Amino acid sequence: MADATLIRIRETAEAYAEAVRQTQRYFERIGDTDDPSVLIEYAELVRVEDAAREDRLDALTDAGLRAASFDTNESAD
């Protein structure tokens, strides 16, 4: 596997992990789930997390490292 491919896998994995950590920190600090601004912020965190996950999966697919997901109906390519 080329160094650039490994670097991309590492970078996208780190970006995804950071997006998940941001969501986790968000849940630690919120106090009122009825506040519309809380819901707006959460929606943005979900968008960022989903985009980071897709980037990570794309990098893994490009490297031939995809496996069938346990939590979706996807199959390995």
d(CA 53, CA 15): 9
Q: Which distant-in-sequence residues (6+ apart) come within 8 Å of 44 by Cβ? A: none
Q: Is the pTM of this model over 0.85?
A: no
- What is the chain's pLDDT, residue by residue, as a tens digit (77 residues)? 579 999 999 999 999 999 999 999 999 999 988 999 999 999 999 999 999 999 999 999 999 887 766 445 554 44
Domain ranges of the chain: 3-62
* pLDDT number for residue 74: 54
> What angle (nearest 5°) sits at the alpha carbon of residue 71, between those of residues 12 and 10?
15
Query: Which H/E stretch holds residue 55?
Result: helix 36-62
